Amino acid sequence: MTETRIVPSFFFKSYGQVIGLANDVGSFAAEFERLISKYPEALEQQLRNGEMADWFFSIDEAELGNELKHITILEQALNAVEMHTEKSSVAKLKIGKTFPAL
């Protein structure tokens, strides 16, 4: 029997209002990029408070969580998330790739 794991969503908030939602690293990166120019103060506060890092830990993305714990600049945070997303995509491609026998 396989265990179903419920992954918590990340709520981007500004003054208590939800301004964005993410369910995985990819959707987080997309929302972060969309919101960075509209709500930089809100994103910065959630980054500095550790909310983003804590969420990544909660979805078993500890490497990214550890990285964000030490970042306070939004552009650096976005870059870290995008780099992690790219690494994950490349790893998934490599896992599914087969090579002909020599």
pTM value? 0.81
State the Rg of the chain over Cα: 16
CB 85 within 8 A of CB 26: yes
For the chain, what are the domain ranges? Answer: 10-87
CA-to-CA separations, 17 to 11, 13, 21, 46, 58, in angstroms, rounded: 9, 5, 11, 13, 22
Residue 89: predicted pLDDT: 62
Query: 22, 12 in Cβ contact below 8 A?
Result: yes
- Res 99: pLDDT: 44
- Write the pLDDT tens digit of every residue in 11-68: 999 999 999 999 999 999 999 999 999 999 999 999 999 999 999 999 999 999 999 9
What pLDDT is stored for residue 86 in this prediction? 84
Name the residue type at position 58: S
